[in-house]
Structure 1
Amino acid sequence: MTDPTTLASLSSALADTVARAAPAIVSVHSHRSRASGFVWKPGLVITADEALADEGEIEIQFADGSRKQATIAGRDHTTDIALLRVDTDVAPVKLSASVPALGSLAVVVAADRGAATARLGIVSLSGPAWRSLRGGDIDARIELDVRRHSQQGGLALDASGEPFGMAVLGPRRVLTIPAATIERVAAQLETSGRIARGYLGLGLQPVRLDDGIGAMVMNVDKNGPSAAAGIRQGDVIIAVNDERLSGVRALLRTLGPQSVGRVVDVTVRRGGEPQHFRVTIGERPET
């Protein structure tokens, strides 16, 4: 039989963990969207980009019930991180770079109209770095067996109360954007308001070939890097750096922040004959 004092101690420890984190947790209201967020640095709030409306005013509601208008400092849809500026003196959260072990306890502290909420679960997957479907580099794969509710943008804590990431809603489970990713991306958003992405300057359409898959060039940015290299509309890309193309999406996912400035060898078929072009990947312009 479980010792009642053990359960009471666990309950008290979890309550203390939530209480310590709660003051830095906020509600984020934008248009018809509601999410949670947390104070990352003085005057800066992190929230989930997917839960943030594309237009309209943004209001932050704090734990003490006060409300203030916020502005977007930057957002990155590939890692689901948005950075907001707001006038506040709330003490920020100190994120931990540690990745929780598989099977360990986790608490997600979120907010509902300013009031803190908490949900307890376990780490159901703790794995290596991965790339999101939108092409974002995530430093660790952390999934939580937590009831899906309104955790979007909430703070994920381990059993010792260390915040290890931001909870977001995946297709079937609660995922965590780890602290290492948040620190890396948010620092760039704070500085420049955006994350640099690679740019070929091509509009591509997948085509099936007799010997595999290609990407037909449907349009070319005349001021882009591919035009400068000599690639034309109608060319069919079949390989990059001598690796056969596996699909247009796979190609686009390689155009992350680290790709800018890299020179790649692009093999195309033009009139049925292979040709090679050296393309210096540019930086995607703001749209």
Structure 2
Amino acid sequence: MTEPNILSSLSSALAETIARAAPAIVSVHSYRARASGFVWKAGLIVTADEALADEGEIEIQFADGSRRPATVVGRDHTTDIALLRVDGDVAPVKQSTAVPALGSLAVIVAADRGAPSARLGMVGHTGPAWRSLRGGEIDARIELDVRLRHSQQGGLALNAAGEAFGMAVLGPRRVLTIPAATIERVAAQLEKSGRIARGYLGVGLQPVRLDDGIGAMVMNIDKAGPSAAAGIRQGDVIIAVNGEKLSGVRALSRGLGPQSVGSVVDLTVHRGGEPLSFKVTVGERPET
């Protein structure tokens, strides 16, 4: 009897890995949008927020073909994670918070036109924690060398052991993975409160060039917000935060993550050419 060669063994192992994960993979149907998702906990589905319509009804199609309506528990556009609730008791796939090694194989198990689908690629780049363009805290940089259809966003990325290390999404010119650690952190907060708290200063800012750097002019101000309460006025120019020169409006906004709520920041501003300092207690951004 001929022993199976290495390619045959690899093929069988991949097929078994995909078969184990497939029951937990779902197709997410929202208004004029199709995406993939997976069972995070019994009755709770995680999908890519970017691929989910902003309004209308949502329907989940399971691997066995059954369809059930779903409701939004919460969405976080900064980390591209949305949590949905649906009736069902499908077991979730085991997730691993370990970052896969560069060059290791990655299997994307997703849904395409309502049926389970799979793609094989490799981990093309890994790196430390980073912030998305929308200010979300992503626990690790994991890029995949694989093609991905729009409808396959929200599928699971599996390592060679069959463990899910993240959710596959389309990034700028590349396929990214939202790591399992980020999913666990954000989905747990969405399950608990339906939203992710973000820091709020209560000002609308416009970058301005100064002789010695960059400032942020207060173009409008929430009269009931933290900055107004601290004494900041429309027309003030923020030049420093906690004693450090301002590097840009975006950098200031990115510093207002969930951990910033309740903290006190020291803002240095120019008012009429004179420097003034204000201590602002960061509030929680309104849901609007």
CA distance in 1, matches of 2:4, 2:277: 72
Amino acid at match of 2:69: Q
| 1:149 pairs with 2:149 | yes
Gaps of 5+ in 1: none
CA distance in 2, matches of 1:64, 1:209: 62
Aligned to 1:42: 42
Aligned to 1:25: 25
Task: Note if contact 2:231-2:278 (Cα within 8 Å) is conserved in structure 1.
Answer: yes
Give the match's secondary structure for 1:135.
coil
Amino acid at match of 1:211: D
Q: What is the CA-CA distance between 1:282 and the residue it aligns to? A: 0.5
Aligned to 2:265: 264
Task: Determine what percentage of the aligned residue pairs are the same residue.
Answer: 83
The count of aligned residue pairs is 285
Aligned to 2:109: 109
Q: What is the CA-CA distance between 1:275 and the residue it aligns to? A: 0.3
Aligned to 2:97: 97
| 1:187 pairs with 2:188 | yes
Task: Note if contact 1:148-1:173 (Cα within 8 Å) is conserved in structure 2.
Answer: no
CA distance in 1, matches of 2:191, 2:95: 17
CA distance in 2, matches of 1:155, 1:114: 15
Q: What is the CA-CA distance between 1:98 and the residue it aligns to? A: 1.2
Give the match's secondary structure for 1:183.
helix
Give the match's secondary structure for 1:203.
strand
Aligned to 2:239: 238
Aligned to 1:206: 207
Amino acid at match of 2:196: I
Aligned to 1:285: 286
CA distance in 2, matches of 1:243, 1:148: 42
Q: What is the CA-CA distance between 1:94 and the residue it aligns to? A: 2.2
Aligned to 1:166: 167
Task: Note if contact 1:40-1:94 (Cα within 8 Å) is conserved in structure 2.
Answer: no
Aligned to 1:197: 198
Instruction: Please identify runs of 4+ aligned residues in structure 1 that moved more than 6 A.
Output: none
TM-superposition CA deviations, 1:194-230 (whole Å, max 9, x none): 0000000001111111111110001111111100100
Task: Note if contact 2:93-2:163 (Cα within 8 Å) is conserved in structure 1.
Answer: no
CA distance in 2, matches of 1:250, 1:26: 37
Task: Note if contact 2:27-2:111 (Cα within 8 Å) is conserved in structure 1.
Answer: yes
State the TM-score, normalized to the length of structure 1.
Answer: 0.98
Q: CA RMSD in A?
A: 1.0
Give the match's secondary structure for 1:218.
strand
Gaps of 5+ in 2: none
CA distance in 1, matches of 2:212, 2:154: 45
Task: Note if contact 2:143-2:175 (Cα within 8 Å) is conserved in structure 1.
Answer: yes
Aligned to 1:218: 219
State the TM-score, normalized to the length of structure 2.
Answer: 0.97
